[in-house]
Structure 1
Amino acid sequence: MAAISAGASSAEPVYALAMHGKPALPADFNHMPYANPDAPKGGRLVQGLLGTFDSLNPLIVRGIPVQQVRGQGFERGYVYESLMTRGDDEAFTLYGLLAESVETDDVRSYVTFHLDPKARFSDGQPVTADDVLFSWALLRDHGRPNHRQYYSKVAKASAPDPLTVRFDFGGVPDRELPLILGLMPILPKHATNVATFEETSLTPPIGSGPYRITDVKPGASVTFTRNPDYWGRDLPVNRGMWNFDEIRLDFYREANGEFEAFKRGLYDFRDETEPLRWHDGYDFPAARDGRVIRDTIKTGVPEPSEYLVFNTRRPMFSDIRVRQALTLLFDFEWINHNYFFDLYARSAGFFAGSELSAYGRPADDIERALLKPFASHIPSDILDGSYRLPVTDGSGRDRATLRRALSLLSQAGYDLDGMVMRQRSTKTPLAFEILVTTRDQERIALAYQRDLRRAGIQATVRSVDAVQFDQRRLGFDFDMIQNRWDQSLSPGNEQWVYWGSAAADSQGTRNYMGAKDPAIDAMIEALLAARERPAFVSAVRALDRALMSGFYAIPLFNVREQWIARWNRIERPNTTALTGYLPETWWQRPAAPSR
């Protein structure tokens, strides 16, 4: 069986689908290269998570869901499966899962999925074309905004037979749409109530995945138990995966309490995000004697980056010069040295540390051609790659950046009135609120508040719980928040949700800054239309330049590595995926034989 690549002209069923180029694995591959096919089964994995939950449905806007039901980022879902699954060593290639094969044409005007006749939901019912059509219509009409946006692009959906589904796109060009549909979660029609779907629920859902939810303690923990009858356990994409008999997620309301629980061995691993802790916090007996192992993993994907996001829907942030001035006033050098032990870097772009980043790179001919109609939107230094984020002297009192910021504020119509920055015509103080939900966010916000005070700007730091923070973020009810957008090596339709003009007015999307820029929209269209990797990379870099040019967010830092701490009872493969660590490939160390 062949594989579809970007330039394929045939429409025969194939085992894999690549966004650009060809799949890395042959049709007869035995297992994913980052999985250990001989990993032992059994045992339990306990993961600690900061926050809480009030829903087991991650497919709707309401509530704070347990994301692992469906999976997020590069992680696969424990309960819900999709038609195909990612190859985590590739930019964007899908291999068969619920669908044993897929077909599309050269222009990708349609996609047809052929279901595996062995596929079953956890209650034993077969997965059929009716379930796929039901899931598509349900998520199109009642799902999260990204689902509604993606799936509404389908002009016609049909089921030629009980194991075949075809989606036609009505001539609308979108080369990523077949892959987006390949990642659609499939729900059981016979066990899903459409009337109550958009309501939060703690009733364990039925899926086709390797685990079933067997215990729920509201807000505290969720237990997943491996389904011994899981239909897909012998598929090559699953060989060496899903090795634990039980996975439990324990939720903690406070970061220090969460870490203390790890030190006591109450859960098995943590994805460390706090440099102070990583630098100094692992000097406890279990870490010293090797019972706790620390792994530093360098991934091949864009580095996760944190930002302070301007809500440009607010009048005080509508002027780009104000946003530029406030960017100047953030003292990264002082914060990185005093809080982060100089472990972080900083990039102005949104694809840091990858070939997709435009920061520090001159635009190539393709980028310049794409951006030419929007020349007035793109500063010359961002186009030629000479733009750099401001660098302070690290003292916390840098005068040069303060003078530059005051000059920009003056141009925007603000003057210092004693110790207060006021709008020249109305005398209204320049003031805003920074909304935070963790102590780490609060610490950064308070340091920034100090820097702003030197310029006469009144910033209030307000700390709220995770539930309220998420509600206000999704409803765009904030002045400034800290946020991170995780990017892959194949950004696509989700960029509309992140930055597209239509998303700016749609609550529940991730266009938190309220960007409405025709240059951004045009670059998203260009990257989606690209057939080959070089043209695609240029289009993404052009998008990066358009985003940088808007000064929609203050870059805080880039996380250059993954810091993983685990008790040595948990083992992982020697090979790490391009995307980083994958708990679904881990296993429990077998007990030593008794003498």
Structure 2
Amino acid sequence: MAALSGFKAEIALSPTGSWASTGLTVIIKMFIPLTRSKKYPKKNPSHKLIVLLVALTCENTGAEQSQIPVFSTSTFSLIGEAKYPDNFSHYDYVNPNAPKGGTLNLAELGTYDTLNQFNSKGRAAYGLYWVYDRLMTRSADEPFTLYPLLARQLHYPASFKWVTFDLHEHARFHDGKPLTADDVVFSFDLLKQQGSPLARNNLRDVISATANTPYKVTFHLGEDAGKKALAAIAFQPVFPKHIWKNQPFNVALTLPPVGSGPMKVSAVKLGQSITYERVKNYWGGELASRKGLYNFDRIHVNYYRNLQTAREAFKIGQVDISYVFDAKAWHEQFTFDATRKKQVIKETLPFLRPPGMKGLVFNTRRSLFQDRRVREALLHLYDFQWINQHLMHGHAQRTRSFFAHTPMMATGLPSAAELALLQPYQQTLPACFFTTVPALPDSNGSGCDRASKSKAIALLAQAGWRLSNGKMAHEITGKPFTFTILADSFEAERLIMPFRKALASIGIQVKIQTLDISQYRNRIKTFDFDMVSWCFFHSPFLGAEQANSWSSQAADERHSNNLAGVKHPAIDALVNRLRQPLSYDDMVTTGRALDRLLLWGIYMIPQWHSEKVHVAYWQHIERPKTGRPFYPILESMWESSH
């Protein structure tokens, strides 16, 4: 042990909690400053604890030494260093001394029929994520880091082949029972076997979980797993085994669930309203990741048939806060007496999250939309410039990437690194794909762009469609070109109307079917639509979750997020690559190649996003004015004492 002179050594257990049969395992602890790249400069002058695991193995042939670096920390960052140091007291965007009490009244649209949001059975009630704590939690002002919650510390090797979490021993479920490693293992097995497609997909690269001790649990990851798989484990909710072991998980739940989070369900009118009550003796109330959050004693969520009804309820004080993403509505509907008298506070704040991709999705399972030339023709008829100017006060920006405002946004021609990923699939892509910069067609903003119409008609002709006597029909079958667009509100219908008019001008007949939100979501998740408006949100660090939106397997799996029915071997290869332990630069390159393929495929007509969020709230509600959260956080607000 002379080589260990000068270090404090401790005898350590293996990840599974037993002694290695071949010899002795020794942990040497030392403080080493973690450096950051220029792209992600260091934000806090803190150090992380690096644990170097030295395995001294003794065999008959002699002693053999191998070194395996193991990291031990209370935070987990996908990129660089966490914003907040290990000993932080609270997030910047909260008031740690916010008073507790009062009731927050919220509005939600449509209805709900289950209190289990982790399977695919029905539409879950809003707010259920307040009920369940997770091993680790995110902050709302940085995209890449997880902070302690149920787990106070984690340990993992540089290979990411396993991760061990040390649990808080005082964590409790709402019924007072202790939360232990057995509950964590049970929850993992439940989600992996019976969870939603997204949950199962996120955990696909996790092989097993083991309860080492009552408050230590180890997950074993597959060969191709990486940081993102570890993050998916850390963000796993934990269910009480003593309750769920005796009841089915993959059915709709109508009784209040038992969790370990800061709120619990106190009243349910199934489909109409749900009320949450602050847990007075919440076990995690003093954690830094919970300070200043969940300040209302009650949160009551009432369900309204449509958005207009919900806004009327807000105007008369039955709803306390309203987020508004429609610029026209913000300027025209939020000018009532209470706003003029300053009884309702109006704010326009920056929206700092990547916007995702909002647009009109083609269901390529329908024969009508299987020809890319047809999809491209309809893309040319979407006049964003006119819609923005006349219906949105000119405040919207066209979304031109599935990963807008992130490094994964495809720009210019494919880089050499992208080409290396795409060239194996060169036979499935046209030559122009490799020589064309991703771009959307722009109109002249007149609402009647002749050049756009001519281009659309020419593309349709190539695909076998002919315009005759004002009707677009297939030249062989004579079948007219007709389809239906689903909308979830009259406001959405209003924004689709100009597109329908443009289609009608070249003989395409479109019906807009407006449904309540529950019917709308059910039709979408069962792929029962021709075209639908949808938004694909994505993590700024892409991983296994992308398969749920773009893989061939997800295209055939009801309730997945592959609404368009995307099936392409190159896309499958890229989403599978995102499961692997990639460096950040490799992930960015893969994301750019994926973005390029999705844009080229024209699986949807990109619409718009806003870099601001409008929020109105009654004056008895207060919010913190510190920090820069991605958007105004409900959980950080409180009821004013004056």
Bin for the TM-score computed over the shorter chain: over 0.9
CA contact (8 A) 1:305 1:486 kept: yes
Long gaps (5+) in structure 1: 71-77
Letter in 1 for 2:74: Y
With over 3 angstroms needed to count, the CA separation of the structure-2 counterparts of 1:371 and 1:91, relative to structure 1, is farther
Letter in 2 for 1:287: T
| 1:220 positional shift | 2.0
Aligned residue among 433, 458, 469 for 2:509: 458
1:73 aligned residue: none
1:547 aligned residue: 598
2:201 equivalent to 1:153:
no
1:406 aligned residue: 457
1:75 aligned residue: none
- Superposed, 1:187-336 pairs within 5 Å as 187-192=239-244, 195-336=247-388
Partner secondary structure for residue 95 of structure 1? strand
2:546 aligned residue: 495
| 1:576 positional shift | 4.6
Which whole-Å CA distance do the structure 1 matches of 2:232 and 2:611 have between them?
A: 28
| 1:304 positional shift | 4.3
CA contact (8 A) 2:201 2:544 kept: no
| 1:207 positional shift | 0.3
Letter in 1 for 2:116: N
Which whole-Å CA distance do the structure 1 matches of 2:69 and 2:84 have between them?
A: 19
1:42 aligned residue: 101
CA contact (8 A) 2:120 2:195 kept: yes
1:74 aligned residue: none
Radius of gyration: which is bigger?
2
With over 3 angstroms needed to count, the CA separation of the structure-2 counterparts of 1:302 and 1:389, relative to structure 1, is same
Q: Can you list the C-alpha shifts for 1:124-149, whole angstroms capped at 9, x where unaligned?
A: 10101111111111111211111122
Which whole-Å CA distance do the structure 1 matches of 2:613 and 2:132 have between them?
A: 26
Q: Can you list the C-alpha shifts for 1:199-222, whole angstroms capped at 9, x where unaligned?
A: 222211000000111111222211
Q: Can you list the C-alpha shifts for 1:132-188, whole angstroms capped at 9, x where unaligned?
A: 111111111211111122334322221111111111123233331111011111100
Partner secondary structure for residue 510 of structure 1? coil
CA contact (8 A) 2:181 2:214 kept: yes
Question: Larger deviation: 375-384 or 574-583?
Answer: 375-384
Partner secondary structure for residue 444 of structure 1? helix
Partner secondary structure for residue 61 of structure 1? coil
With over 3 angstroms needed to count, the CA separation of the structure-2 counterparts of 1:523 and 1:514, relative to structure 1, is same
Letter in 2 for 1:25: Y
2:112 equivalent to 1:53:
yes
CA contact (8 A) 2:105 2:302 kept: yes
Letter in 2 for 1:247: I
CA contact (8 A) 1:3 1:15 kept: no
CA contact (8 A) 1:301 1:488 kept: no
Letter in 2 for 1:265: G
Letter in 2 for 1:18: S
2:86 aligned residue: 27
- How many pairs does the alignment contain? 582
CA contact (8 A) 2:100 2:296 kept: yes
Long gaps (5+) in structure 2: 1-30, 32-46, 54-67
| 1:538 positional shift | 2.6
2:537 equivalent to 1:486:
yes
With over 3 angstroms needed to count, the CA separation of the structure-2 counterparts of 1:64 and 1:452, relative to structure 1, is same
Which whole-Å CA distance do the structure 2 matches of 1:310 and 1:4 have between them?
A: 50
Which whole-Å CA distance do the structure 2 matches of 1:254 and 1:185 have between them?
A: 31
- Using CA pairs below 8 Å that are at least 6 residues apart, which structure has the higher relative contact order? 1
Letter in 1 for 2:77: A
Question: Larger deviation: 347-356 or 333-342?
Answer: 347-356
CA contact (8 A) 1:54 1:65 kept: yes
2:164 equivalent to 1:122:
no
Partner secondary structure for residue 11 of structure 1? strand
Aligned residue among 122, 129, 136 for 1:84: 136
Which whole-Å CA distance do the structure 2 matches of 1:108 and 1:4 have between them?
A: 17
| 1:101 positional shift | 0.9
Aligned residue among 428, 433, 436 for 2:484: 433
CA contact (8 A) 1:212 1:226 kept: yes
CA contact (8 A) 1:436 1:442 kept: yes
CA contact (8 A) 1:498 1:511 kept: yes
- Superposed, 1:538-577 pairs within 5 Å as 538-577=589-628
With over 3 angstroms needed to count, the CA separation of the structure-2 counterparts of 1:536 and 1:91, relative to structure 1, is farther
| 1:579 positional shift | 2.6
| 1:452 positional shift | 0.7
Which whole-Å CA distance do the structure 1 matches of 2:99 and 2:432 have between them?
A: 55
- Superposed, 1:507-586 pairs within 5 Å as 507-529=558-580, 531-586=582-637
CA contact (8 A) 2:109 2:517 kept: no
| 1:264 positional shift | 1.0
CA contact (8 A) 1:119 1:127 kept: yes
Question: Larger deviation: 10-19 or 94-103?
Answer: 10-19
Partner secondary structure for residue 351 of structure 2? coil
Partner secondary structure for residue 196 of structure 1? coil
Q: Which has the higher strand share?
A: 2
